[in-house]
Amino acid sequence: MKVLITTVPFGEKNTLPLEMLEGAKVEYVINPLNRKLTEGDLIEMVHDYDIIIAGTEPITEAVLEKASKLKLISRVGIGLDSVDLIAARNRGIKVSYTPDAPAPAVAELTMGLLITLLRSVHLSNLQMHNNLWHRYFGKRIADSTIGVIGVGRIGTRVLNRTRAFGTPRLLVNDLSPNHELSRKFKLEWVDKETIYREADAISLHLPLTTSTKDMIKSKQLLMMKPDAVIINTSRGGIINENDLYEVMKSGHLNGAAIDVFNHEPYSGSLTKLENCILTAHMGSMSVDCRTRMEIEATEEAVRFINGVALESEVPEIEYISQQDQL
């Protein structure tokens, strides 16, 4: 069998995933362009491979039409908006993913961005590099109202880490409220509009679907407190980037931190805003979590090669969710 590894970097910090493929005696190729592949790139590449170990590249129906030998997509990560699950199923292609591996790293980056925004660390750093001395007032987490939209693997970890800083007011929203978490964290389950109006900081932890695409536009941003901040470490496209730019340019909102973008690599208007922290989709990029993701995705590929049942095949609910969006 032949394996195409589309995600990069891969095997850079730990070569075990590559050693596993070599041990399985399969031929593999790592993304020869060493950048995020486009749909067109994939269409040119996929025709000769049985397995793709994928990142967030767009594995669309058009790509799958050219992948006549493809039998498995093993996703390095949790998001599935880049994979056309229905088209894959219709062609008998299995899809697996690594839903737990990235969560600790994404939650920790979220906390780092939260503290940075609340204490204006990024602005002070910029001032110091310009030989200016300005001491910013900020807020402590324990003295803030924190809004978390999406309380799954990552959102729950963010709540857990937030409580380590004291007892902030925690406003949360999710399609399926978890009342066991309420007892543990003293949560207030509210609608999203309440979070927009009352939170000092909002953190997003949602999949990208038709219902979350452009979920936060000018209307929602202007509902927020003028000195509030917002963080997105989940999926690009949930916050409308152009609207965020215009609202922040007008002076509304103290800051934002965006790790994920509608189109990556990103080079849009948000780069003009000093109070908008931009990071290059690096939420999962701690050495340990990235390594775990690569190993788990490779383990699934090796299981498939050896005729062993997959352990992290994408559940039916994800197919239903995509089907409902059609």
323 band by pLDDT with thresholds 50, 70 and 90: confident
Q: Is the pLDDT of residue 63 over 70?
A: yes
Q: Is the pLDDT of residue 246 over 80?
A: yes
For a pLDDT cut of 90, what percent of the chain falls above it? 94
CA distance 76 to 53: 7
pLDDT tens, residue by residue, 253-310: 999 999 999 999 999 999 999 999 999 999 999 999 999 999 999 999 999 999 999 9
| Cβ count near 293 (within 10 Å) | 27
Kind and range of the H or E run holding 66: helix 61-66
Q: Is the pLDDT of residue 40 over 70?
A: yes
> Which token pair is 78?
């949790």
314 band by pLDDT with thresholds 50, 70 and 90: very high
Provide mean pLDDT across the span 39-58. Answer: 98
Q: Is the pLDDT of residue 250 over 90?
A: yes
| 8 Å CB contact between 14 and 294 | yes
Task: Report the chain's mean pLDDT, rounded to a whole number.
Answer: 97
DSSP 226: T
Q: Is the pLDDT of residue 183 over 90?
A: no
Domains of the chain: 2-100+286-325 (3.40.50.720), 103-278 (3.40.50.720)
Question: Of 82, 102, 104, 194, which is closest to residue 148 (Cα–Cα)?
Answer: 194
pLDDT tens, residue by residue, 201-228: 999 999 999 999 999 999 999 999 999 9
242 band by pLDDT with thresholds 50, 70 and 90: very high
326 band by pLDDT with thresholds 50, 70 and 90: low
| 8 Å CB contact between 95 and 51 | no
pLDDT tens, residue by residue, 86-112: 999 999 999 999 999 999 999 999 999
Phi-psi region of 110 (alpha: psi -120 to 50; beta: other; left: phi over 0): alpha
Report in angstroms the alpha-carbon separations of 112 from 80, 172, 233, 291, 310: 25, 20, 11, 21, 35
The gap from C-alpha 306 to its chain's centroid, in whole angstroms, comes to 31
Q: Is the pLDDT of residue 188 over 80?
A: yes
- Residue 185 pLDDT: 87
Provide mean pLDDT across the span 178-182. Answer: 86
Q: Is the pLDDT of residue 1 over 80?
A: yes
Q: Is the pLDDT of residue 165 over 70?
A: yes
Quote the strand ranges of the chain, DSSP E.
Answer: 2-5, 27-30, 51-54, 72-75, 94-96, 145-149, 169-173, 188-189, 201-204, 229-232, 255-258, 276-278
| Three-state SS at 16 | helix
pLDDT tens, residue by residue, 135-161: 999 999 999 999 999 999 999 999 999
CA distance 1 to 51: 8
- Residue 213 pLDDT: 96
Catalytic residue list: 235, 264, 281
CA distance 31 to 8: 7
- Residue 219 pLDDT: 98
